[in-house]
Amino acid sequence: MKTPVTEIKKALENALLNDGVMEQLLYEYEFAEIIPELIETLTADKDDYLYAITTHKNDITGQEDTAMVLIEATGETHINELARAKLQEIWAGAYIRNMKQLIPDYAKQLYAGDLPMNGLKTIA
């Protein structure tokens, strides 16, 4: 039997590793209103980028939907598939390895009701 954490992990793997479709409405519900707070966190931590991801069980399909946001230090915001593409660009050559390490923790955080977010610093 699948546990909720396993279902969340599968949804994250689909969205982040298998180029799955992400949900615009979930982005709007979870992230749109908190973008200013995320930018404040990014600025306070002196990060170059900040990204966050979420899932939510779809009441109609019963499947976990996923949404993602990535914000640059300039304030430019990338949503869902564009956020994933930007993170793949930032982590060129390491994206898959990094995600395979991070996804299990993200699934646990989401199940616990937390919103996984990471700030990134780049080396010039």
**Local mean pLDDT, 10-residue blocks, the chain (124 residues):** 87 95 94 96 96 86 87 96 97 95 97 95 82
pLDDT of residue 62: 66
pLDDT of residue 58: 73
Distance CA 1, CA 121 (A): 40
- CA-CA-CA-CA torsion sign (89, 91, 96, 101): negative
pTM: 0.93
**pLDDT confidence of residue 30:** 94
Query: How many helices and strands in the chain, by DSSP H and E?
Result: 5, 4
Name the one residue in this structure whose structure tokens are 């298998």. 18
Q: What are phi and psi of 52, to 5 degrees?
A: -140, 155
Say how far apart CA 55 and CA 22 lie, in whole Å: 9
